[in-house]
Amino acid sequence: MKYFSSDYHLFHARIIELNARPFKSMKDMVDAIVKNYNEYVDIDDDMWILGDFAFYKADGRVEAVFNRLNGRKHLIIGNHDCDRIIKRLNWDSVAKEARLELRPGVWAHLSHCPIVHCDDLVKDDHAEILKKKAPKCCKSIEANECAPNIDVYLHGHIHSNQRQCLQNCFDVGVDACDFKPISAAQICEMWENETRQLLPLVHKRH
């Protein structure tokens, strides 16, 4: 099974305050993220973390948490992922962006920052959120510049408190997903919703 998440910001001293995360301490946040992760991701599953995994600490804390996490772990590099996060942790793969088949015939583009179609920047109110939260990182593209055969765009970075859908663009960050992984099946379910509105997210194994 394929799972996705982003923006853990482990050991980032101010992340709880900056994003009003519902934890009393860093230990509480780390324990909750690890517990939720391992409740859904088995040892034979693939987890794609779309950036900003942790702030590196030289005392081994990051490695210890990384080694507690199940499954094959793939990193899409975020703006806070330093060389030590990239090189010292035993990732199964590392890339700046990726293209992945969620299920037969449904393809996703994975990146840390959102990719937004230029037309939507004009017509969709939600674009204002993206422009305010990621003014330097949010990448605008013309419809004819889209990667061929891409159905959905998955990202993190903006630390939204809800999963947002803008021209098939989904935020998989922990702040948007109740600090739990989201599965490829759930993403396909949202994508298939003909109204393109958010569906209630029921976290369950598929």
- Residue 167 confidence (pLDDT): 59
- Identify the pLDDT of residue 203: 42
Is 120 part of a structural domain of the chain? yes
Tokens of 39: 């409740």
Annotate 70-103 with b (16+ C-beta within 10 A) or e (fewer): bbebbbbbbebbeeebeeebebeebeeebebebe
- Which two structure tokens, joined as six digits, stand for 169? 């663009």
Report the pLDDT value the prediction gives residue 13, as an integer from 0 to 100: 87
Strand order in the sheet with 182-183: 93-95, 72-76, 46-49, 2-5, 182-183
Q: Look at residue 158 in the predicted model and tell me its pLDDT.
A: 82
pLDDT at res. 169: 81
> What is the full per-residue pLDDT of the chain (206 aa) written as tens digits?
999 999 999 999 899 999 899 999 999 999 999 999 999 999 999 999 999 999 988 789 999 999 999 999 999 999 899 999 999 999 999 999 999 999 998 999 999 888 754 444 434 444 555 555 444 444 544 443 455 578 888 999 887 765 555 557 889 999 999 999 999 999 998 887 743 454 444 443 43
β-strand 106-111 against 97-103: which pairing, if any?
A: antiparallel
Q: Are 185 and 204 in contact (CB under 8 A)?
A: no
Q: Does residue 203 lie in a domain region?
A: no
Segments forming the whole domain that contains residue 180? 2-192
Is 198 a domain residue?
no
For the chain, how many structural domains are there in total? Answer: 1
Write down the pLDDT at residue 107: 92
CATH number at 108 reads 3.60.21.10
Check residue 83 and give its pLDDT: 92
Cα–Cα–Cα angle for 160, 161, 165, rounded to 5 degrees: 65
Is 43 part of any domain? yes
Q: Does 76 fall in a domain?
A: yes
CA-nearest of 44, 16, 43 to 179 is: 16
Structural domain contains residue 168: yes
- The answer to whether residue 206 sits within a structural domain is no
pLDDT at 149: 74
pLDDT at position 134 is: 47
Q: pTM here?
A: 0.80
